[in-house]
Amino acid sequence: MRDVPSWVEDLRGVIFVVVWAVLILRIPAILRRRQRPAWIVLLCLATGSVVIQAGVAQWIDGVTGVAHLSDLVVSLVALTDFAAVWWFALHLRRDTHPGPARWAPLLAAGAMATAAVLLFVVTPEADRFGKEAHGWWIAYAIAWIAYGTVTATAASAIFWRTARSIRGPLLRYSMLALTVGVGAELPYLVIRAIRWFVPGTPAELAVAGFWCSFARFVVVALACSVAALEPMRKAIVYWGRRQRLYGLWSLLRESTPDLVLHEPVSRTADLAGRGNAWELLHQRVVEIRDSITYLHDGWATPALLRDAAEHAVGETDRQRLVAIACWVETTRREARAGAPRTDQEPGPDLLPDVRATASTMRREVGQLVRLHRHLTSRTVQAFADRQTSSPPSPVS
C-alpha cells in the first residue's frame, strides 16, 4: 500500500544510500566481537531499506503473483529489525544484567512472524495491508502495534539508562541518538493505529508516519555507526598521543641505552606501528619515565637539583617543570658523554608528577610534551651548558 506522495519514494532512496554506506564502511566490525551486534542491526536496516523500495515491491508481487506479498516481506524484515535493535540493547547491558532476558527479542519476533504469516493466509486479499483494518486483519493490527510498542519501549529505555551511565561523550551521544531513533517508532505506531481504526484519516497522516519511519532508519543507522567507531576513535587518540611523545622518547632512549631491550624504531616505522594503541602508548610513557628515573638515580646530585630549582625561579607556573627539564638535560648529556654514575640518593622531589592513574590520560601526556619543549628551550640549554662546562658544585 503506497498512499503517499511520489517524493516519498525518492526519500526511500536516500534511506537506502545512507544505510548501505554505513553498513559497508563498518564491514571490519564483523571481525570484532564487541562491535558485531551493532553491525547486525545495520544489516537488518540495510535489508529493510531494500524491500521498502517501490521497484522491489513490484518485482516481488509480479514474480510471485501473490497480492501484497511484498508488504508481508516488508513486515517480516521490519519485525526482525525491531527485534535486532532490542537484542542489541540487551547486549549492551548483559554484563550488569545477565540472564535469560536476551531471548525475549527472539521469542517475540518468532511469535509475531508466525502470526503475520498465518493472518496473511487466512485474510481475504482485499483486506490485507489495507488503509483500514477489517476482519482477520484487525488481529494483525493489534498484534503489530503491541509488538512494536514493546520492542521500541524496551530498547529505548535500555539505551536511555545506558546513556546516563556512560562517561565517554561519543558513546553517550550515540546512546541518546539510539533512544531518539528507536523512540520515533512509537509515534509511527500511534499514527498507524489511527489509520487502521479511524475511518477517513487525511493523507497527511501517512506522510507524518513516513517521516517517523525515515527518522528511525537514518538516526539508528548513524547512531550504530558512531558506537561502532568508538574503538577506532580511541585508537586514533592514543596513536596521536604516542606520536606527540616520540621526540622525548627517542631523545631519552638514546641517552639510556642500558634500558633499551629492542632496537629503537625509526620515525616512519613508528608512524605505521601496529598493535594495541593503548598498550603502545602506555609502554611509551613507562619507557620515558624509566629513562628519567635512570638519569635521576645515576647522575642527579642534590647540588644539581638545587641549582636547577634556583635557575627556574621566576618561571611562574612553569617553575617546577623547567627545573626538572634543567636537571634532565644535564644528566642526559653526562650519560651520553659516559660520565661515571654517582652513588648519591638525591631524592624524588624533582621527578615529574604522575598526574593520572592511567598513563594514557591527556594531562599525563601533556606534561611530558611540555617537558620535551622545555628541554630544547634557551633557558634549559643555557643551564646545561653552564653545568657541563664548569666543575660540579660541592655536595651539601
**Cα(371)–Cα(357) distance, integer angstroms:** 19
CB count in 10 Å sphere of residue 94: 12
**Cα(231)–Cα(234) distance, integer angstroms:** 5
User: Cα torsion at 102, 104, 106, 110 (round to 10°)?
Assistant: 170
**Which residue is associated with the grid cell 596513536?**
239
Sign of the CA dihedral 158, 98, 44, 112?
A: negative
**Cα(184)–Cα(177) distance, integer angstroms:** 11
pTM over 0.85: no
Confidence (pLDDT) at 38: 84
Sign of the CA dihedral 366, 367, 369, 373?
A: positive
Confidence (pLDDT) at 396: 42
- Domains in the chain: ranges and CATH: 7-231 (1.20.1070), 245-389 (no CATH)
The alpha carbon of residue 2 and the mean position of all alpha carbons in its chain are separated, in whole angstroms, by 38
Residue by residue, pLDDT tens for the chain (396 residues) are 455 556 666 778 888 888 888 888 778 877 777 778 888 888 998 998 899 888 898 899 889 889 889 999 999 999 999 999 999 999 887 755 555 567 889 999 999 999 999 999 999 988 888 888 999 999 999 999 999 999 999 999 999 998 888 877 778 888 899 999 999 999 999 999 999 999 888 878 888 888 898 888 888 888 887 766 677 778 888 999 999 999 999 999 888 888 877 776 677 777 877 778 888 898 899 899 999 999 988 898 888 988 988 888 876 557 888 999 999 999 999 999 888 888 667 666 677 766 555 555 777 888 899 999 999 899 899 999 998 776 555 444
